[in-house]
A and B are shown apart, each in its own frame.
Chain A
Amino acid sequence: MGSLLRHNYLGSSGTVNCPECSSTIKVLDYQNSICFGCPICHTFFKTERTSQKLRTFKLTNDSPVPAIPIGTKGEINGYTFVVAAFMIKKESGNEYRWREYLLINQEKGYAFLSEYDGHWNFIVGKNFLVDLKPKGNMYQARYNGLPFKLFNKYTPQVIYASGEFDWNILEEKIACREFISPPFMLVHEKQDSISDWYMATYKSSDEIAEAFSLKNKLLPAKIGIGANEVSSMEKQQNGVIKITLIAILFLFLYHVFSAYSNESAVIFDQRFTPERDSSSWGSTNFKTITTSSFKVNGPTMLDVYLNSEVDNNWLEVPVTLVEEKTGKFYEFTKAIEYYHGYEDGESWSEGSKSTDATLSRIPTGTYHLTIEPSSDILFPNSIRVTVNKSNSIWSNFFLASLLLIAIPVLQFFRINHFDKKRWMNSDYSPYRIE
């Protein structure tokens, strides 16, 4: 990325002529720039004393036209920049290519923008971050309390350059290591015995378009996942967790408020003794019991509790809740059975002397119950029937809370999946690759 010089004379203007095609190239940093790439004939030349051609770039697959034109002014992180140069680089030994923009800030000097598959990084050195001295080793680094993991190492090659430079980019032989902690990336560059650190911050194409007042559609479309890209889900995750917790708290308070703010829950409570139906003597049926009327202030959910002192026996209780005006009915059948005994030195019991049923969405009205018990005993115990109006449906609360919690949990797995996909582009993935 080259050394960073003080640009005291930025703002002075001048031009140089390409030694190959004689095109006039406007120079932004006339005092410092020594190498130039001609955007017309793609010749790279040096202008120390006289212009000297160094190389002519020949592009086959890449466009030499930068997405952000040279000379464009923009503002990133509060700093004003002008685009001074454009480069296309590739990794030595393979075909991965990316584009770099050399930016100049009048006060701080050079910074860079890199773009790979529509993923942008704003890169600065010690001229912007004085304390940029990460600690670590070949595989991890730590800076500002953040852990960075090695993502990639390579040797960049310049395959195209236009604009101006204060160093000869063709002489660079850099060994580069990239460590990520999204949205940041630490870049370690080593050339001979000199090494330096740079800090890259991921930028979306929206941010770049806004920074340079460009139309987003003119910038390269995003493909895949950027090395230090933060998923939109991860950006939202803190908010999602907080909103979810607030929502669960709201639901809890709503149910507590509903439970204690409405009238008494018991709307019917009576005990009945079933009488054998003489018309069907010998069968298991008893006379139908019809209860007194009771009012329901709905719509609401009713809990019907049935209790009988059955002892080593059973009682089947079909119950029908009937709305007296319309004849609308709701029915259910429950069995009360309780058995116990002593066997092999141990007491045992199974079943219960009580059971309950739930009827939901019961409208306002006057109701009664019809009960048609049956059992194989001649004189069964009495049945106590209690109807409770449920002011608060707690099962709804628990189910809704479970669903709500599932959202951030699902988000967590999606973020994890995103991270796994990111590391699939790296040879140093912390995930086990099958």
Chain B
Amino acid sequence: MIEDLKKAKYYLVALALALGGYVWVNQQGIRFLGDDNESKEQRSGYTRSYYHK
């Protein structure tokens, strides 16, 4: 088992980093498949002002 893992040690390191990134992405609430947000203006930095209740 350990011998097998040693042979793929670079893959192990790369995957460990990728998993770290994955956890961070999930903690940020990012969905890989995108979402239903349609406010394009906001994505380019513009925010519409709303009257608060």
Contacts and interface: CB of A to CB of B under 8 A. Distances in A.
Interface of A: 235-236, 238-240, 242-244, 247, 250-251, 254-255, 258, 290, 293, 298-301, 320, 322, 324, 326-334, 357-362, 368, 370, 390, 392-393, 395-396, 399-400, 404, 407
Given A254-B23, A329-B48, A299 B28 contact: yes
Given A236-B11, A247-B19, A370-B50, A396 B32 contact: yes
27 contacts: A238-B7, A239-B7, A240-B8, A244-B15, A247-B15, A251-B19, A254-B26, A258-B26, A293-B53, A320-B39, A320-B50, A327-B50, A331-B39, A333-B38, A358-B31, A359-B37, A361-B29, A368-B53, A370-B50, A395-B31, A395-B32, A395-B33, A396-B25, A396-B26, A396-B30, A396-B31, A399-B33
Interface string B15-53: 100010011011111111111111100100001111011
A430 B23 CA distance: 45
Majority SS of interface residues in chain B? Answer: loop
Contacts of A324: 52
A242 B1 contact: yes
Interface size class of B (residues with CB under 8 A): 35 or more
A136 B11 CA distance: 39
Interface of B: 1, 4-9, 11-12, 15, 19, 22-23, 25-39, 42, 47-50, 52-53
A399 B9 CA distance: 24
B6 A239 contact: yes
A214 to B, nearest CB: 25
Contact of A242 (B5, B34, B39): B5
Contacts of A258: 26
Contacts of B35: 301, 357-361
A299 B53 contact: no
A300 B31 CA distance: 10
A252 B11 CA distance: 20
Contacts of B31: 301, 358, 360, 393, 395-396
A300 B19 CA distance: 18
A327 B39 CA distance: 13
Given A290-B53, A333-B38, A368-B53, A299 B33 contact: no
A328 B23 CA distance: 26
Nearest to A247: B15
A242 B9 CA distance: 12
A255 B1 CA distance: 26
A300 B30 CA distance: 7
Contacts of B1: 242
Contact of A239 (B5, B22, B29, B49): B5
B52 to A, nearest CB: 6
A395 B26 CA distance: 11
Contact of B42 (A251, A329, A334): A329
B36 to A, nearest CB: 4
B11 A358 contact: no
Contact of A243 (B15, B26, B28, B47): B15
A328 B19 contact: no
Contacts of B33: 395-396, 399
Given A235-B7, A358-B35, A329 B19 contact: no
A331 B50 CA distance: 13
Contacts of A240: 8, 11
B38 A331 contact: yes
A298 B49 CA distance: 21
Contacts of B4: 238-239, 242
Given A329-B50, A358-B31, A399-B33, A239 B11 contact: yes
